[in-house]
Structure 1
Amino acid sequence: MKKILFIATVESHILNFHIPFIQYFQNKGCEVHVATKLGNRRDELKKLGIVCYDIDFERSPYSFSNLKALNQLIKIMREDKYSLVHVHTPVGAFLGRLAAKITGTKPVIYTAHGFHFYKGASIKNWLIYYTMERLAAHWTDGLITMNDEDYNAAKRFKLRKSNAVFYVHGVGLDIDKYNISDKNERKQTRKAFGFGEKDIVILTVAELIPRKNYIQTIEAIKKLVNKDKNLYYLIVGTGELESKLKNYVLKNDLEKYIEFLGYRNNIPDLLNICDIFVLTSLHEGLPRCIMEAMAAGKPVVATDVRGNRDLVKDGTNGYLVPLDDVNATVDALQNLIESEDLRKKMGDEGRKIIQDYSIDKVLKEMDEIYRRLFI
C-alpha cells in the first residue's frame, strides 16, 4: 500500500483545508499520514483513519524547536518510505522539504497558501522567507499557488522539475453550503439577533490579529453611524487583539453598533443575515471568508491587496479600496448601504465568479497535478 504524507505546522490547517485531498488518496487505496503539531482536535484526524505524528513545529522560523521537528520528520520519512509528500505552511513546508531531501524521499509537492514575501512586505520577510523558498525550491517537484502574484513569483524559482509551477483556485469550497435563499429564515434569524428588516448588517469573519487590520473597518463604521443609526457591524473570530479591539470600540462609544461574536461554527447562517461583507486585511493568500461571502451572494468590500483582488472585481462583485484609506472604505460601504439593488446585483455576480472555486473543480485541478507528478 502506498503511503502519502501531508505536512503542515498546525493541525487546524490540515482540518480546515486538506480533508478532501486526504480523502482523495484514501479513495485510491492509499494510507495517509499527517505530520503536524497536534492539539485538542487530534481525534478528528484519527476518526478519519489518518495516521498522525505529533511534530514540535513552531511558526517562527527562528525557534530552535524546529531543529527537533526536522529530526522528527527525518525519522518518520526513513521509517515509512512515503510515495508522496505534500507540504504546506512556510515552516512546515521548508522543514518537510529539507527532510525529504536528506532522506531521498520523492516526489514532493508544495502548496503555497500565500508567500510571506509579497509586494509591500517588510525587508525582514523578504530576507527570511524569500531565501527559504528559493532554497527549498530545489527540493520541490511541484509548486502550487493560489493567486496571481504568488504564481508569477513562483515561476522565477528553479524547481527540481521543469514547468511544475501550477495555479489552482484555492482549497475548494462547498458552494451549496452557503447558498441559503429562504427569505423567511433570514428574517427569523435577523429577528433573533435583534435586527429589523431595514437594518444594515455588515460582517467580518477573520482572526483578531494585526494582519486583518480591523481598525480600518472600525474607523469607517464610526463615520457611517453618524449618518445611519440602523447600521451594525458583526465581528466573528478570536485572537490576540480581542481585548484591544473591544477597548477601542468602548472608548469610541461604538458598542451599540459593533458586536464581537467570538468563534462561531454557523458561518452560513451569519452570512445569510448580513447585507455586506468586509475585509480590510494588510495582505492575504486567497481568503476563504471572502469566498464564503461570495457563495452566499453578498457584496464584498476589501482592501486592494494580493488575494483579495483575485476574488473581488472592483465595481462588479464589490469594491476594492486602498489600504488604510478610511474615507474610501466609507464611500464603498455607503454605496452599498444606500442601494439594495446594487447589493443584490453585486452579490449575484459574486456567486457567478465563485463557481470556479468549488471543491469539485479544485479536486479536478489537483487530480491533474497529482497524476502528472505522482500517479
Structure 2
Amino acid sequence: MSLNSKSKVLFLATVYTHLAAFHIPFMRLLQEKGYEVHAAASPDDGGKEEVEAIRARCWDIPFSRSPYSLKNWRALRELDHLFEAHRFDLIHVHTPVAAFLGRFMAKAKCQGPVLYTAHGFHFYRGVPLKNWLLYYPMERLASHWTDGLIVINREDFEIARRFGFEPGRNLFYVHGVGVNLSCYTSLPSKGQYIRVDLGLSHSDIIITCVAEMTPNKNHILILKAWKKLAAKCSHCHLLLVGKGELMPALKKKVKEEKIPRVYFLGYRRDVPQILRESDIVTLTSKREGLPKSIMEAMAAGKPVVATNVRGSRDLVEHGKTGFLVDLGDDEGLFFALKSLIENGELRKTMGKAGREKIKDYSMDRVLNEMEAIYMRYLAL
C-alpha cells in the first residue's frame, strides 16, 4: 500500500518491560515497512529506554497490573487524550488490563483495526474461580472490540473459537514471540563464561531456571526439590536467573534452611550464554502462555523439566524433549531432574530433539506469520 509519514502503528501493554522483552522485532518490522511506531505503557518497571532506542515514540500511560487499581481510571483518561491527539492505522494490544482498556477506548475513539495477542488467557482449567469470574467476562466483552485475535497455544485457540472467533478470518495461531536460534549456538565473547565467574568446573552439572521471581513462577517448588537433590548430588548447582518481588523471601529461605549451591544471578543480559553452559533447564510455573525461557533452552539444545501446564506442554514433549511434572509434585520434579543428572546421554538426546522441535518457533518464522497478519489489517 502507499505509505506516508502519518501512517502510525501503536503497541500497547501494561508495562514497557513487556514490550522491550517480546515485541521489539515486530516494531522494527513495521518501521522497515515505513510505518511510524508508537508505544504506550507504564514506565514503572523500566524497559522504556530499550523501546526508545529503536526510535519508537513512547507515551507513558499509568496502567496497573491489578484490574482493581484506581490507577487504571487515570490510565483510561490518558488513553482518551492520546486517541484524541492521534489516529492510529493499527493498534496491537497486549497484557490483560492494558488490552481491555485499550480495546475499549480504541473503538470509542474510532481508531483503526485492533489486534490483541493473548499471551495466555488468565482463565483455564485448574485456575481459582475468581479468575473465571473476573477475566472470562472481561474477555467476552472485549471480544466485541477486537478485530483480530492472536493466540500462542492450542488451549487458548479452542477458547477463542468458543468466543466466536473464526480461524483464518479473525483468529490466528502464531508460534509465540519467536526465538533467534543463532544466539544460542554462536561462541561467546571473551570473559563471558558463567562457569568461570562462579568457579565451577566443566564436570559440574548446572540446572538453570530463567524466570521472574513472582508467585506464578513458583520457585518454591524448585527449592523443595533442590533441597533433596543437593544432598545427593554434590557436583550439581542451581542458577536462578531473574528478579522480582519474591527474591528477598527466596534468598531468606535458602539461607535459613541452609540449602547449598543456589546462585541468585538477578537480571542478566547474557542469558543465551548461561543457557549454553547449563546442562538442564527447569520452569515450574503455575500458568504460562508459551514460555520464552523454555523456547530459549530448547534453542540451546538443553533438556527441559517443566510443570504440566498450558503453554509449557505445547513445547515440552514428555520423555522426548524433557519431562513434565504435576503442579506441587516436588517428588516428581526431584526424580525427573535426578534422572537427567545421572544420564548424560539422555540429556544429549533430549536436547537434540528439543533443538529440532524449536525450529518451528524461530524468529524468522514468527516474523513471517506476524507480517502476514499486520499487512492484512493495515490494508483495510
**Fold in common (TM above 0.5):** yes
Structure 1 position 311 matched with structure 2 position 324: no
Give the fraction of aligned pairs with identical amino acids, expressed as a percent: 49
Paired position in structure 1 for 2:57:
51
The answer to whether the 8 A contact 2:161-2:167 is kept is no
Aligned partner of 2:230 among 225, 231, 234: 225
1:89-168 alignment to 2 at 5 Å? 89-158=95-164, 163-168=169-174
**Hey, what does 1:179 align to over in structure 2?**
185
Give 3-state SS (helix, strand or coil) of 2:164's partner: coil
Asked whether the equivalents of residues 187 and 197 of structure 1 are also in contact (C-alpha less than 8 Å), the reply is no
- Residue 330 of structure 1 deviates from its aligned partner by 1.2
CA distance in 1, matches of 2:47, 2:329: 39
Q: What's 2:197 paired with?
A: 192
Shift of 1:106: 2.7
Query: Contact 1:223/1:330 (CA < 8 Å) preserved in 2?
Result: yes
- Name the residue aligned to 1:364: 368
User: 2: CA distance between counterparts of 1:334 and 1:358?
Assistant: 30
CA RMSD of aligned residues (A): 2.0
Stretches of structure 1 that go unaligned for 5 or more consecutive residues are none
Question: When the two structures are superposed, what TM-score results if normalisation uses the length of structure 1?
Answer: 0.95
Closer, same or farther in 2 for the Cα pair 1:191/1:132, shift >3 Å?
Answer: same
Output the TM-score relative to the length of structure 2: 0.93
Distance 1:202 1:161 in 2: 39
Structure 2 counterparts to residues 1-375 of structure 1, below 5 A: 1=4, 2-39=7-44, 40-158=46-164, 163-180=169-186, 189-254=194-259, 256-375=260-379
Deviation at 1:268, TM superposition (A): 1.4
Q: Give the secondary structure class of the aligned counterpart of 1:225.
A: helix
What letter matches 2:309 in structure 1?
V
Aligned partner letter, 1:344 = K
Structure 1, 316-325 or 364-373: larger mean CA deviation: 364-373
**Amino acid corresponding to residue 83 of structure 1 in structure 2:** D
Give distance in 2, aligned partners of 1:87 and 1:187: 36
Shift of 1:276: 0.5
1:79–1:372: structure 2 CA closer, same or farther, 3 Å change rule?
Answer: same
TM-aligned CA deviation for residue 249 of structure 1: 1.2
Contact 2:308 / 2:327 at 8 angstroms: preserved in 1?
yes
In 2, distance between residues paired with 1:291 and 1:313?
A: 13
* Offset of residue 86 of structure 1: 0.7
Change (3 A) 1:52 1:306: same
| Residues 317 and 346 in structure 1, CA contact (< 8 A), matched pair in contact too | yes
**In the superposition, relative to structure 1, how do residues 160 and 290 fare at CA in structure 2: closer, same or farther (>3 Å)?**
closer
3-state SS of paired residue (2:348) = helix
Kindly state the Cα deviation for residue 279 of structure 1 after the two structures are TM-superposed. Answer: 0.7
Secondary structure at the aligned position of 1:155 is classed as helix
Query: Residues 187 and 239 from structure 1, CA distance in 2 versus in 1: closer, same or farther, beyond 3 angstroms?
Result: closer
In structure 1, distance between residues paired with 2:367 and 2:204: 39
Q: How many residues align?
A: 373
CA shift for structure 1 position 78:
2.5
Q: CA deviation at 1:192?
A: 3.5
Check the 8 A contact 2:193/2:273 in 1, yes or no.
no
1:17 and 1:314 mapped to 2: Cα distance?
A: 27
**Could you list the runs of 4 or more consecutive aligned residues of structure 1 that deviate by over 4 angstroms after TM superposition?**
159-162, 184-189
**Cα deviation, residue 161, structure 1:** 10
Give unpaired runs (5+ residues) of structure 2: none
Offset of residue 206 of structure 1: 0.6
